[in-house]
């Protein structure tokens, strides 16, 4: 359709509308107008734009509380730690081991307080640390390290590299450990990193980022879940978890798998039940 | 361009255009203001900082688009259906209210309008300004890349450690950690220099367009490759300097280069080197004029 020659002001707007090009522009303008009226104008009036701030996390206080309160793990024996006056800390069980010839009996150490958990710096972040009694006798306690998301601006990135740097261990036989945690009728699949850490001692280590509906060792897996949740105006808060289970140097990693999986399931379930669920 | 028309006719002819521009301004000026505020005050997030080159890129893109207006008007009006698709997609993204998606709706609405008004020839005409806008739109790609930058971080840590070792410092490198005189420096993902690399490529694109050398594939490839080398090398040197400052206790210098205007000055010098590189690449070869040293001087060994 070609544009018809129009007399200025004579046929005016209506003639112009019949030109396809003007029609195209009017349609585009109409679309943008609709968008402006429906979406932009309410924000102008209220002064609030939905993208100006990151979407808040619903129960961020509970997530943050991980740094102050130990996680409840009913099937495991939490070992309190003694915070010493000189700033150090010891696990209470180790101080109660009988003295050997090399180590004279310690009189009462200057203990400031006894607490179920303490905060440790790892790679610039402060992790919450708890100790659990190892099911095998004569083994040091199991370490449970939790790093909660303190704010919307904190994103999981390189926690496993930081841990490796701080612990100074060699990661061997790195593999995936998949398990499902069940809380009530909710099932959360988790894919964690599972490996043998060789340092002064040997450990079986499980690492993953936990969120309300599951977990993964990959920060990107969390990222996509969180993005998807944001479309529904919700967030998926994350807690980085790593479990340090002492093992005998000559054992196979596979032999530690049942213990590792059982503990990991309990930790994920405890997080889902206590931390990720809003307190009623 | 409008002065020869009578005023009422002007309004009729330009009415729809002005309406579209006005609505775009209403829809996007709060967003653009938010972006600029974030870049100037570093108040949004680290990922947002990766796109601060848009502060020079967007005005440049607007300037180029404006300088094309006569050619734009001479193009026949044609509405390409892809334009409608992009416009509708942009509206949908804007409607979600989610930061990432609203950001993405900006280049989409511009591309959609270009296609809807002037079709593929219009897109070809305005392709470079649209590309500048697209590459300057904040998104989460830098975060998505962080798991993959580990090898680069380790390389930087290793090289910095090696250089410091040659300078006689007691250095130990473990993965991305450098121990100097028992002080620890971590080469974090955001120290890997990706931001400066992206900015270097972006500025290279702008330079190529400005000097009209983008037509030569050799120049384009050489400049982008050269900019990459300059950027990565400059970043290694910067990390080495930062480690040196921290390891020898020069915390003031560390702060200056890491957080304060020292870093900006360093980046500006690096970009200046890229400009010089382009001038060197672009220098017309004049074999007839340049004296051939071998014909005149005594033979070397």
Q: What is the share, in percent, of chain A residues with pLDDT greater than 70? A: 82
Are the beta carbons of A237 and A225 closer than 8 angstroms? no
Residue A91 confidence class, pLDDT cut points 50, 70, 90: low
Residue A279 pLDDT > 90, yes or no?
Answer: no
Nearest to A40 among B6, B26, B116 (CB): B26
Backbone angles phi, psi at B212, to 5 degrees: 60, 25
Residue ranges in chain B modelled with pLDDT below 70: 1-12, 284-301
Contact A8 B98 (CB under 8 A): no
Contact B23 A33 (CB under 8 A): yes
Residues on chain A touching B24 (C-beta within 8 angstroms): 32
DSSP string, A74-117: TTS-EEPEEEETTS-EEEHHHHTSPP-SSSPPP----EEEEESE
Between positions 120 and 139 of B, the ones with CB within 8 A of A are none
Mean pLDDT of A246-272: 92
Residue A103 confidence class, pLDDT cut points 50, 70, 90: low
pLDDT at B247: 81
Mean pLDDT of A11-35: 78
Mean pLDDT of A234-241: 94
Residues on chain A touching B144 (C-beta within 8 angstroms): 220, 223
Instruction: Count residue pairs from A and B with Cβ separation < 8 A.
Output: 113
Contact B23 A29 (CB under 8 A): yes
Contact B12 A51 (CB under 8 A): no
Contact B24 A153 (CB under 8 A): no
Mean pLDDT of A59-80: 88
- pTM higher than 0.80, yes or no? yes
Residue A136 confidence class, pLDDT cut points 50, 70, 90: confident
Token pair in block for residue A90:
């010891």
Residue that the structure tokens 């998926």 belong to: A236
CA distances, A233 to each of A54, A59, A109, A155, B144 (Å): 11, 14, 52, 18, 21
> Which residue does chain A place closest to B188, by CA atoms?
A158
Residue A107 confidence class, pLDDT cut points 50, 70, 90: low
> Which residue does chain B place closest to A154, by CA atoms?
B45
Q: List Cβ neighbours of A174 (8 Å cut-off, separation of 6 or more).
A: A193, A194, A195
Nearest to A36 among B23, B34, B177 (CB): B23
3-state SS class at B147 = helix
Q: List Cβ neighbours of A62 (8 Å cut-off, separation of 6 or more).
A: A274, A275, A276, A278, A279
Interface confidence, given as ipTM, is 0.80
- Does residue A13 or residue B71 have the better pLDDT? B71
At B137-161, the pLDDT tens digits run 999 999 998 888 888 888 888 998 8
A199 touches chain B (CB under 8 A): no
Q: What is the share, in percent, of chain B residues with pLDDT greater than 70? A: 90
Residue A189 confidence class, pLDDT cut points 50, 70, 90: very high
The alpha-carbon radius of gyration of chain A (Å, integer) is: 29
């Amino acid at each position: 359709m070609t544009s018809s020659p129009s007399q200025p002001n004579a046929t005016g707007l209506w003639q112009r509308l019949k030109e396809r090009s003007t029609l195209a522009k009017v349609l585009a303008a109409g679309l943008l107008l609709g968008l402006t009226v429906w979406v932009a104008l309410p924000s102008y009036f209220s002064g609030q734009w939905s993208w100006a701030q990151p979407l808040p996390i619903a129960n961020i206080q509970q997530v943050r509380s991980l740094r102050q309160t130990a996680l409840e793990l009913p099937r495991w024996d939490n070992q309190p730690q003694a915070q010493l006056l000189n700033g150090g800390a010891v696990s209470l069980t180790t101080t109660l081991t009988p003295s050997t010839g090399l180590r004279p009996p310690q009189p009462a150490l200057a203990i400031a307080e006894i607490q179920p958990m303490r905060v440790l710096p790892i790679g610039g972040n402060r992790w919450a640390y708890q100790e659990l009694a190892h099911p095998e006798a004569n083994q040091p306690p199991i370490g449970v390290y939790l790093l909660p998301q303190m704010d919307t601006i904190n994103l999981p990135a390189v926690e496993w590299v930081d841990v490796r740097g701080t612990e100074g261990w060699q990661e061997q036989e790195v593999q995936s450990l998949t398990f499902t945690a069940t809380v009530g009728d909710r099932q959360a699949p988790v894919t964690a990193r599972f490996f043998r850490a060789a340092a002064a001692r040997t450990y079986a280590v499980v690492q993953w980022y936990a969120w309300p509906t599951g977990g993964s060792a990959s920060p990107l897996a969390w990222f996509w879940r969180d993005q998807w949740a944001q479309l529904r105006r919700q967030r998926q808060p994350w807690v980085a978890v790593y479990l340090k289970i002492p093992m005998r140097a000559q054992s196979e990693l596979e032999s530690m798998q049942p213990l590792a999986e059982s503990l990991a399931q309990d930790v994920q379930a405890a997080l889902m039940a206590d931390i990720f669920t809003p307190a009623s | 361009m409008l002065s020869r028309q009578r005023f009422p006719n002007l309004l009729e002819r330009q009415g729809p255009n002005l309406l579209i521009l006005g609505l775009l301004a209403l829809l996007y000026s709060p967003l653009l203001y938010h972006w600029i505020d974030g870049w100037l005050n570093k108040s949004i997030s680290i990922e947002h900082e990766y796109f601060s080159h848009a502060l020079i890129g967007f005005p440049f893109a607007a300037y180029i688009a404006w300088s094309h207006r006569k050619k734009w008007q001479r193009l026949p009006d044609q509405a390409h259906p892809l334009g409608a698709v992009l416009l509708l997609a942009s509206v949908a993204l804007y409607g979600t209210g989610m930061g990432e998606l609203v950001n993405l709706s900006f280049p989409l609405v511009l591309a959609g309008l270009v296609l809807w008004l002037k079709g593929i020839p219009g897109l070809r005409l305005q392709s470079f300004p649209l590309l500048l806008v697209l590459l300057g739109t904040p998104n989460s790609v830098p975060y998505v890349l962080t798991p993959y930058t580990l090898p680069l971080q380790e390389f930087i840590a290793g090289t910095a450690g090696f250089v410091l070792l040659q300078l006689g410092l007691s250095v130990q490198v473990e993965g991305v950690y450098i121990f100097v005189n028992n002080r620890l420096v971590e080469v974090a993902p955001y120290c890997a220099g990706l931001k400066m690399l992206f900015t270097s490529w972006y500025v290279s694109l702008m330079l190529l367009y400005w000097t009209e050398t983008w037509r030569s594939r050799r120049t384009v490839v050489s400049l982008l490759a050269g900019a990459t080398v300059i950027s990565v090398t400059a970043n290694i040197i910067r990390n080495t300097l930062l480690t040196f400052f921290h390891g020898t206790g020069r915390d003031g210098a560390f702060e200056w280069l890491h957080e304060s205007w020292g870093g900006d000055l360093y980046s500006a010098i690096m970009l200046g080197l890229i400009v010089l590189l382009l001038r060197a690449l672009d220098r017309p070869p004049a074999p007839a004029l340049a004296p051939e040293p071998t014909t005149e001087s005594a033979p070397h060994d």
